[in-house]
Chains A and B, each alone.
Chain A
Amino acid sequence: MLGKTAGGLYWMFRLLERCENTARLVEAGFRIALTRSNDPASEWKSVVTTAGARSNYDAKYDTYEAAYVVDFLLRDPANLSSVLSAVEKARTNARMVRTALTTEVWEAVNEGWMGLKQTLKSPVKETDLPAVLGEIRRHSALVRGALHGTMLRNDIFDFTQMGIALERADNTARIIDVKYYTLLPSASFVGSALDNVQWETILRSVSAHRSFRWLNDENMTPASVADFLILDPRFPRSLSFCSRILEESLGFLAKDYGTRLTCHDMISAQRDRLRGHTIATVFDEGLHQFITAFIDDINAIGQQIEKDYRFIG
């Protein structure tokens, strides 16, 4: 496979994952702003921060109003991570790597792009927002479904999985980090009674409110939520799960190509570090420190993959 093709596949799926995550983030923000009216601006601010769009946003707007934030995250062409920009770029990548995709995957990407371009042509009205967010999430889900249902499990598939796992890990990690800070700035609060609505928002923003409840009844402590999001091996957006997928996909590639590269050593080391932790040791280390280190690790692995598999010349 061409190195460029591997890069195209990886980024295509990273970007589609990003769209879905952004939609979920906006949805959670919207919900909390509706149900808790005392300080919606700080809520929207944390949404923008989690989306990694603070500096761009602040350059354009002075206040955190729902309409501005939603427009910036969903439609703004100046925001390179806005859903519209990402869907457009994902589709461009798909065109570039079209020979590596099944017809089903290509058509899912292309049709979704046609639809979303239309949907996001003008500012989204508040009444339309739920439907629009639904469409964005469906787009990513359709492409992923077509991928799982029709693609050969070869190196092409491995690169798509790595893109998804990396983006997801990064997203979940940032949600934990931002929320943890906002909610509990002082270490003395760790372990104290919880603001349920806030934690509920976190869980919603990774589509975990259901699964968490299945596992934990009403026992919503910061430790149990953090444990779930960081270490639970069953939850498909937990840091542990994502890093396992990454290790697996890289493992398949190493076997397929018969070569172990630097990125393989890095993911093994990262997996070992994660395995050594319980949620208690995470809190001992400091959640913020732990998450920051995780994000750095994941990004470094991402960059090493690009190098090892020659995404660019």
Chain B
Amino acid sequence: MDLERRHFDEMLLGSDGVRAPYAEYQKWFANEDPTRLSKKSKEAEAFFRRTGITFNVYGQAEAQERLIPFDLIPRIIANREWTKLSKGIKQRVVAINAFLHDIYHRQEILRAGIVPTELISRNEAFLPQMIGITPPGKVYTHIVGTDLVRTGEDDFYVLEDNARTPSGVSYMLENRETMLHMFPELFSQIKVQRVSDYPKNLRRSLAACAPQGCAGKPTVAILTPGIHNSAYFEHSFLADQMGVELVEGHDLMVVDGHIAMRTTRGYKNIDVLYRRVDDEYLDPLNFNPDSMLGVPGIMDVYRAGNITIANAPGTGIADDKAIYSYMPDIIEFYTGEKAILKNVETWRCSEPDSLAYVLEHLAELVVKEVHGSGGYGMLVGPAASKKELSSFAAKLRRNPGNYIAQPTLSLSTVPIFAKKGLAPRHVDLRPFALVSPEGIDIAPGGLTRVALKAGSLVVNSSQGGGTKDTWVLED
């Protein structure tokens, strides 16, 4: 009990009370028969399995397609809270796009000494091929999935900016569909903001970023690495929902200076390519020559301004965890405002003083690889054994520039529906922002990921995390 009280729970207050956003839901829940809910929970799983809402786990030949466990207790956010969050996300997204444009053009921020030059010049995520290129509409990050965590009533932190190719939005949509299907009555009692417009908005937003020379209705397509990719379900889901083609590298080629897809009627030009393939695999002629996933010559078409690539190549530099630590300064530099959303205190292990501190306090900290994602290669100090700590310390000493460290945050919890009733579990939140010259549009809510093991702070689906439907209340 002691342990649970240390964390902020978004639903339950200390003695029997619930926080205001959950009041209506709690009334409904109290009248529900737990047996019925258990049954519903199993139904949901069968539904996910049948419709093939699965993800692939790398390196697990046997259980290749796994389900992301779905928890039926929603995560509820008050409208007032959301307004502040979305304002903060917009500010950040604007700053990130300005930063990317600057970094690949005049580099004012380096000249001003705000971000150290070597952090850019020696960074693998910085693409020299992008220098001097301005993407159509000056948009670099067409889709952003900012990871947020909460530690208290008014304390939200940005954990990561995910400016490359954030995934998970299909779960946001399917989770809502599942809830609507299972508990339609809930949604007539409680007014929840809609998320179902996302695919339509995504298509419109992408089309609005089409190259200037594009005449008529822009042709949009999604580029997937193929059915073995961990997020393939999402790629095909979004293509389906948007009504656009889902292409692989071998469906595409350069025809008369444009990227064209091989159709049953011949080659057809693509104007906007929402690619879910990493930069380095995008173009074997310009990047990794062994890549079978990309399109030879696409960067030349891009340079000529004949295709929009979303997100733009080279945006990964804004995702870099060492750059992250400068975000408050970056925001202030480009917007002239203080950052609305807080950054987590971050030690850059490349700096000797920080490294010394991190090594000394390893058992209290979370250490991450600068370019890592998906929860791979990270250390959660408080959960690690002595042996794990000492072997991680050795890795850290060998290549300190590859790591950053952060305090172990006391992440908020939301209850899950467990066998013995409600049980608090740590959560994070990934809202999805769409960027185009027409503006920034954020789907209300986003994806809530939940660590299913008691006490665990790792919410990644590849590490056994689950998801919840996320509600933003109206008014």
Q: Give every chain A residue within 8 A of B50 (Cβ-Cβ).
A: 107, 110-111, 114
Determine the residue in chain A with the shortest Cβ distance to B248: A4
> Are B263 and A1 touching (Cβ within 8 A)?
yes
Q: Could you tell me the distance between the alpha carbons of A24 and B246 in the complex, rounded to whole angstroms?
A: 36
Size of the chain B interface, CB-CB below 8 angstroms: 22
A36 at the interface (CB under 8 A from B): no
Q: Known interface pairs A92-B227, A106-B52. Does A310 touch B236 (Cβ–Cβ under 8 Å)?
A: no
A257 at the interface (CB under 8 A from B): yes
Q: Give every chain B residue within 8 A of A106 (Cβ-Cβ).
A: 51-52
Q: Could you tell me the distance between the alpha carbons of A111 and B47 in the complex, rounded to whole angstroms?
A: 11
Size of the chain A interface, CB-CB below 8 angstroms: 23
Q: Give every chain B residue within 8 A of A95 (Cβ-Cβ).
A: 52, 227, 232, 236
CB distance from A52 to the nearest CB of B (A): 27
Question: Which residues of chain B (31-56) have a CB below 8 Å from chain A?
Answer: 49-52
Count the A-B residue pairs with Cβ separation under 8 angstroms: how many? 57
> Are B253 and A313 touching (Cβ within 8 A)?
yes
> Are B263 and A310 touching (Cβ within 8 A)?
yes
Q: Give every chain B residue within 8 A of A155 (Cβ-Cβ).
A: 264
Q: Could you tell me the distance between the alpha carbons of A310 and B263 in the complex, rounded to whole angstroms?
A: 7
B309 at the interface (CB under 8 A from A): no
B247 at the interface (CB under 8 A from A): yes
Partner of A313 from the list B227, B245, B251 (CB cut-off 8 Å) is B251
Determine the residue in chain B with the shortest Cβ distance to A7: B264
Q: Could you tell me the distance between the alpha carbons of A257 and B264 in the complex, rounded to whole angstroms?
A: 9
Q: Known interface pairs A1-B264, A2-B262, A3-B264. Does A99 touch B51 (Cβ–Cβ under 8 Å)?
A: no
A292 at the interface (CB under 8 A from B): no
Instruction: Map CB proximity to B onto A106-134 as digits: 1 under 8 Å, 0 otherwise.
Output: 11001100100000000000000000000
B122 at the interface (CB under 8 A from A): no
Q: Give every chain B residue within 8 A of A1 (Cβ-Cβ).
A: 263-264
CB distance from A114 to the nearest CB of B (A): 7
Q: Could you tell me the distance between the alpha carbons of A111 and B265 in the complex, rounded to whole angstroms?
A: 33
Partner of A99 from the list B239, B248, B266 (CB cut-off 8 Å) is B239
Partner of B49 from the list A2, A3, A114, A310 (CB cut-off 8 Å) is A114
> Are A110 and B247 touching (Cβ within 8 A)?
no
B332 at the interface (CB under 8 A from A): no
Instruction: Map CB proximity to A onto B259-302 as digits: 1 under 8 Å, 0 otherwise.
Output: 00111111000000000000000000000000000000000000
> Are B263 and A3 touching (Cβ within 8 A)?
yes
A68 at the interface (CB under 8 A from B): no
Most buried by B among A2, A3, A96: A2
> Are A2 and B247 touching (Cβ within 8 A)?
yes
Determine the residue in chain B with the shortest Cβ distance to A258: B265
B240 at the interface (CB under 8 A from A): yes
B19 at the interface (CB under 8 A from A): no
Determine the residue in chain B with the shortest Cβ distance to A92: B227
Question: Which residues of chain A (179-201) have a CB below 8 Å from chain B?
Answer: none
Instruction: Map CB proximity to A onto B360-388 as digits: 1 under 8 Å, 0 otherwise.
Output: 00000000000000000000000000000
> Are B251 and A2 touching (Cβ within 8 A)?
yes
> Are A257 and B265 touching (Cβ within 8 A)?
yes
Give the A-binding residues of B (Cβ under 8 A). Answer: 49-52, 227, 232, 236, 239-240, 245-248, 250-251, 253, 261-266
Known: A3-B262, A114-B49, A313-B251. 7 other contacts (CB 8 A): A2-B262, A4-B262, A95-B52, A99-B245, A107-B50, A110-B52, A310-B264
The 7 closest A-B pairs by CB, nearest first: A99-B240, A309-B264, A3-B262, A98-B236, A6-B264, A99-B239, A1-B264
- Interface CB pairs A-B, < 8 A, 14: A2-B247, A3-B264, A4-B250, A4-B262, A5-B245, A6-B264, A95-B52, A95-B227, A95-B232, A99-B246, A107-B51, A310-B262, A310-B266, A313-B262
